[in-house]
């Protein structure tokens, strides 16, 4: 059972469409990170959100941390083929004396021209 | 900086063989992580080193897995003996203190 549930698992859309990806948990996290991973590469950090209710924008990407710090969403406006990839959320929990990252299974996004 | 370097990028081996994966973290980073990624289980932390000392190895699946960090610029993850269920992409990541983790390109392991 995943501690962090991401939905949807797969998303295939046309260029110009908007989309939202969700990351949900029953656990509270001290912070939450979003990564994008392209084929044959490691995940690359997009953003870290720390405060409940926090909203961060990165060009066409908008990230929100839930008020209770248990969930998060990623909204992409006017998606482009370059947005194609695996989007991972990761929650930080203090465990064993350090902030451990727990990753969701990811949402695989394909944006078609 | 070249980023986190992992080798080999691809490894195909037969069940029962020993496999050694290598990682060179970014210079100056004092924390190193080994992760495993599969379709079924996603990205899982195997082991975390801080200043070359293993801090959390609770994610290491079983005694067949071992990891070492003899110095600040090199780490290995060894599987002996390997099994087909070990097939996955193994990532190494490093960071400086509590800053961003930088991931390497991964090693795709296939155990036949």
Q: What is the pLDDT of residue A98?
A: 84
Q: What is the pLDDT of residue A94?
A: 85
pLDDT, tens digit, for every residue of B51-65? 999 999 999 988 999
Q: Does B1 score more than 70 pLDDT?
A: no
Give the best residue of B39, B42, B98, B104 to mutate against chain A (max A CB count within 10 A). B42
Q: Spell out which residues of chain B touch residue A97, defining contact as CB-CB under 8 Å.
A: 55
Query: Does residue A44 sit at the B interface (CB-CB below 8 Å)?
Result: yes
Query: Does residue A66 sit at the B interface (CB-CB below 8 Å)?
Result: no
Q: What is the pLDDT confidence band of residue A46, given thresholds at 50, 70 and 90?
A: very high
Q: Does B91 score more than 80 pLDDT?
A: yes
Q: Spell out which residues of chain B touch residue A41, defining contact as CB-CB under 8 Å.
A: 103, 105-106
Strand-strand pairing, B10-13 and B107-111: parallel
| CB-CB neighbours of A73 under 10 Å | 17
Q: Does B34 score more than 80 pLDDT?
A: yes
Q: Does A1 score more than 60 pLDDT?
A: no
pLDDT, tens digit, for every residue of B7-30? 999 999 999 999 999 999 999 999
Q: What is the pLDDT of residue B33?
A: 97
Torsion of CA A30, B38, B49, B106, to 10 degrees: -120
Query: Does residue B43 sit at the A interface (CB-CB below 8 Å)?
Result: yes
Mean pLDDT over each residue of chain B, to the nearest integer? 95
pLDDT, tens digit, for every residue of A58-71? 999 999 999 999 99
Query: Does residue B97 sit at the A interface (CB-CB below 8 Å)?
Result: no
Q: What is the pLDDT of residue B40?
A: 85
Place of tokens 């939450």: A32
Residue closest to A27 by CA, chosen among A68, A73, A74: A68
Query: Does residue A99 sit at the B interface (CB-CB below 8 Å)?
Result: yes
Q: Spell out which residues of chain B touch residue A99, defining contact as CB-CB under 8 Å.
A: 98
C-alpha to C-alpha distances, A13 to A59, A78, B1, B66, nearest whole angstrom: 19, 10, 36, 42
Identify whether the C-beta of residue A80 lies closer than 8 Å to the C-beta of residue A111: yes
Residue of B nearest to A90 (CA): B43
Residue closest to B21 by CA, chosen among B107, B112, B111, B110: B107
Mean pLDDT over each residue of chain A, to the nearest integer? 94
């Amino acid at each position: 059972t995943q501690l962090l549930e991401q939905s949807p698992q797969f998303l295939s859309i046309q260029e110009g469409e908007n989309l939202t990806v969700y990351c949900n948990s029953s656990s509270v996290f001290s912070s939450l990170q979003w990564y994008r991973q392209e084929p044959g590469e490691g995940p690359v950090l997009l953003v870290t959100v720390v405060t409940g209710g926090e909203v961060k924008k990165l060009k066409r990407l908008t990230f929100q941390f839930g008020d209770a710090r248990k969930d998060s969403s990623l909204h992409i406006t006017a998606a482009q083929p370059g947005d194609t990839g695996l989007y991972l959320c990761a929650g930080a929990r203090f465990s064993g004396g350090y902030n451990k990252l727990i990753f969701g299974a990811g949402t695989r996004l394909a944006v078609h021209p | 900086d070249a980023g986190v370097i992992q080798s080999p990028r691809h490894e195909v081996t037969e069940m029962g063989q020993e496999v050694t994966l290598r990682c060179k973290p970014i210079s100056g980073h004092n924390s190193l992580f080994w992760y495993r990624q599969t379709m079924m289980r996603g990205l899982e932390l195997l082991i975390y080193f801080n200043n070359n000392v293993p801090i959390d190895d609770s994610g290491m699946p079983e005694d067949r897995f071992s990891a070492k960090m003899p110095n600040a610029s090199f780490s290995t993850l060894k599987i002996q003996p390997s099994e087909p269920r070990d097939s996955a992409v193994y990532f190494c990541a490093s960071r400086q203190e509590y800053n961003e983790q930088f991931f390497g390109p991964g090693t795709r392991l296939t155990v036949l």
